[in-house]
Structure 1
Amino acid sequence: MAAVHSLLASLPNQFAVAGSGVNSRSPVLTIKASSKGVSLAENGYSRRRQILVGVGAFASIFSQEKIAFAEVPKNYEAFVDFIDGYTYYYPSDWRDFDFMGHDSAFKDRFAALQHVRVSFIPTEKRDVHDLGPMEEVIFNLVKNVYAAPNQTPTIYEMRERSLDGKNYWTFEYELATSFFGRTAFATIAIGNGRYYTLVVGANERRWSRVRNQLKVVADSFKILDI
């Protein structure tokens, strides 16, 4: 254990693990590394706070994926999952938490309903276009998957972007009842034999104040080849 802490202490500050006691500085990024190297998860740390301590492995992974961590927007941090093959930004003052059925999740420390979560399921499809026309797929997803029977769904925007040969669909939607409403962005994409979904949203009353902030999160989602 002493050897692990010694190695971590020798790494740049931006690779410090939040809450580890190695460095009290807030991390620039959160890494879920591969099983190669030493994993802090073995010592009781959150699975989402695993870090690869082999400097050579860091250099190899960063070179292969070409992730520009230096370009992380101000007031955001990067979550990078080399095991399950994806990355995204989240507001730097958010905290990670367990969201049932999801692979990773972060939430506002004061407004729990203001959060981002990522999940994925296996698929034989190779691209979101294989799901069908974008408008039809998103409509059915919001109406039949996201919305509860007592909620009225509204879709405000649908967009497609392409990056490194992969296509991403991002859409803004609201789920409302007569008493409560929640608005969110969702990004879906397919790669690595997986159908990924990122959802980031907030209480309807806060949406106008945080929409632009959460849009950065939705637009930052990227699949990594694994």
Structure 2
Amino acid sequence: MAISSSLSLSWVSTTIPDKFQLTLPNHNNELPRATTTAYFSSKNITCSAEPASIDESHCKRRPLLLGVGALTTSLLQATSLFAEEIPEKYRAFVDKVDGYSYYYPYDWRDFEFRAHDSAFKDRYMQLHNVRVRFLPTNKTDIHELGPMEEVVSDLVRYKLASPNQYATIFGMQERNIDGKNYYTVEYGLQTPNFATNSFATVAIGNGRFYTLIVVANERRWKRYRNQLKVVADSFRMLDI
């Protein structure tokens, strides 16, 4: 990754924290070395009354923060985790222990979300949030689960939707970045009382099935969709 010579950061310690947030200047929002296949459709799914089995034992660890100051050799190590520079008005969350990273809007704050490893939310709109969780798996690639359309439909129906929610899939996308495969789905969930729209990105690596979900109120989706798509597309698995 190319690093601007004008960039400067200072560290809260002399070592790189295992989980940290980082802000870099924006030069290019393109995703390098990536191949993308997109499928757009509208698929309604009536969810099963049988709830999905979810391991609730994994707890989120709070990240450490980086400040602004002088450039050091450690910066080269930290920024090398990214295939591209952070877009304007976003920050990066990097988890070197659990092997993943992603961007989130710069004014969001971290919070606890049950059974998730990390989570950030809008300060004022509570339904605006992003969270990441992972479960152990003996698979090595998302392709081993089956065709994208089948995997995504099962994911939305049995994992992401509650028994009382009506789900609609608006589109799905497959990407290969640095030899790692990712599925991203755009979907809506509706109950008699409220409705949300979301992106979910899933991938398998490091013996883990990773899921990133970024969500907003349905009424605000049109306005914030592009912002949240950046978050969904930014998810990366790191080698650990």
Give the TM-score band, short-chain normalised: 0.7 to 0.9
Question: Which runs of structure 2 are paired with 1:102-113 in the superposition (5 Å)?
Answer: 102-113=116-127
Alignment pair present for 1:192 and 2:206:
yes
Identity rate, percent: 56
Equivalent residue, structure 1, for 2:64: 49
Q: Which residue of 1 aligns with 2:142?
A: 128
Judge conservation of contact 1:13–1:27 (CA < 8 Å) in 2.
no
Question: More helix per residue: 1 or 2?
Answer: 1
Q: 2:178 corresponds to which residue?
A: 164
Would the alpha carbon gap of residues 76 and 190 (structure 1) be closer, same or farther in structure 2, given more than 3 Å must change? same
Q: Does 1:179 align with 2:180?
A: no
1:81 and 1:143 map into 2 onto residues whose CA distance is: 29
Deviation at 1:60, TM superposition (A): 7.0
Structure 1 position 144, deviation (Å): 1.4
TM-score scaled by length of structure 2? 0.71
Question: Is residue 2:110 matched to residue 1:96?
Answer: yes
Determine if contact 2:22/2:65 at 8 Å carries over to the other structure. no
Report the AA paired with residue 160 of structure 1.
E
Maintained 8 Å contact 1:168/1:188:
yes
Corresponding residue SS for 2:227 = helix
For residue 28 of structure 1, what is the amino acid of its counterpart? Answer: T
Q: How many residues align?
A: 186
**Structure 1: which 4+ aligned runs deviate by more than 6 Å?**
none
Unaligned runs of 5+ in 2: 1-7, 14-20, 25-60, 67-71
Assess if the C-alpha contact under 8 Å between 1:15 and 1:27 holds in 2. Answer: no
1-structure distance, mates of 2:12, 2:77: 17
Would you say 1:28 and 2:23 are equivalent positions?
yes
TM-score, normalising length: structure 1: 0.75
Which residue identity lines up with residue 204 of structure 1 in the other structure? E
Q: Measure the CA separation in 2 of the matches of 1:62 and 1:92.
A: 18
Q: Provide the aligned C-alpha RMSD in A.
A: 2.4
- Higher relative contact order (CA closer than 8 Å, sequence separation 6+): 2
